[in-house]
Chain A
Amino acid sequence: MFSLSITQRLSRRVEISAGGKQWSVLFTHDALLEIWELTGLDAMAGEVSLVRPSGKLLRAALFAVLHCAGAGPSLAESGELIKLGGLAKLRLALIDAWDASMPEPEPQAPRSDDSRAKKPLTLPEAWGVARENLRLSDQEWLAMTPRMLQVLTRQRLENMRWMELMMGTVVAFNANFSPCHPKQPFAPKSFMFHPWPEEMDDHGVSGEEIMSVFAQLPNPREPRSIN
């Protein structure tokens, strides 16, 4: 059980049999890069559809997921694994793995035909976000699915919101009690760059939440090293 990677243990299990063995398959960034190299299609940018794939895409997808799962068939051997009798089952398994690997739809996201809809990230942009914002190494990013990256991104956003709320509380307090205070007092969230969406904004601040935010600040008792 513990031979499985953290990606496999955190994701829904989808198995494909190849070479007389069952392989737990997922579309990690490594697999998506393989597909990009083999077909020129960027899965992150929405160019890949496993619902009606071409033969080239299906073979590349099977090769990529098996390769990342540790199975070692070549591209041609992957093609030979695709039997006509098992084609439907294989496609369903790949769609299932795709579903387990790709980000969940954001509840607040506008529809894709809406002009406000965010353009999906390309693979290089997703790598940039992982490196720059989340400080992941190349290997960590390659081993992750886009869904895991989404969880980390959401967690980072949540942390940012709490920090901004704390800062906003201080700023609002200063403004509201200053000699030139506003007629209508400022709310702390007026100073947040990433406010919570309206329907998520009805919770009060608990002591635990305040403690978790302050725990991220540097400890003033520890001496700071000066270089």
Chain B
Amino acid sequence: MPFANLTIGKNEFLLLYDFNALVDAEEEAGCNLLAAFERQGNNTARELRGLLFAMTRKKHDDLDIKQIGALINMDTLRDVTLAIGEACAVAVSEEFAEKWREAVDIVADVDKEANPRDEQIPEVSDSSSAHLGVCDIQAYQAGGDLSGEQMAHLSKCSACFAAIDGINAERLKVA
């Protein structure tokens, strides 16, 4: 079976594309997961959670959708997105998956060179250090505001800033 690996903390998850699991997960996720496939890398939080839920049905069916959602936060967002992409690539063919992994590595290298800022950011230890959770992002996407602490955190964390910036860019596009 062509699985993709996702490591979160000490836990390892095996992800597999299975269309029947995707259909069953649509009910729980409450969104069109086939359309979510086409928008990979630009998914809403609900879609991302639904895709991860669908892909973990084969090996981790003891986890419900809330528990799967709890795995996704600003620290794990990139890994989750990449693991879902890899599971899709592996499902197409192993050759395609190899090319996909190469492409991901190249993009990561280019990204590191272009944005050395990530490495310069010091670790923050004050009350504004908590990363934005999936619920916070969802609330912001739905039109909610960020608190003062969250705003302060944004100025220090490039990952959270990028997530909020992406939503703002989408809003501008719609407008």
Contact = CB atoms under 8 A, between A and B. Distances in A.
B32 A54 contact: yes
Interface stretch (B17-25, B64-72, B126-134): B17-25
B32 A59 contact: no
Nearest to A76: B20
Give the dominant DSSP class at B's interface: helix
Contacts of A76: 20
A54 B19 CA distance: 11
A100 B26 CA distance: 29
A56 interface: yes
B20 A84 contact: no
Contact of B91 (A52, A79, A80, A85): A85
Given A59-B20, A76-B20, A84 B88 contact: yes
Nearest to A60: B23
Nearest to A83: B91
Interface residues of B, number: 17
Interface string B10-46: 0000000111101100110000111100000000000
A196 B145 CA distance: 61
16 contacts: A52-B32, A52-B35, A54-B23, A54-B35, A55-B23, A55-B26, A55-B32, A56-B23, A56-B26, A59-B20, A59-B23, A80-B19, A83-B91, A84-B88, A85-B92, A85-B93
Interface of A: 52-56, 58-59, 76, 79-80, 82-85
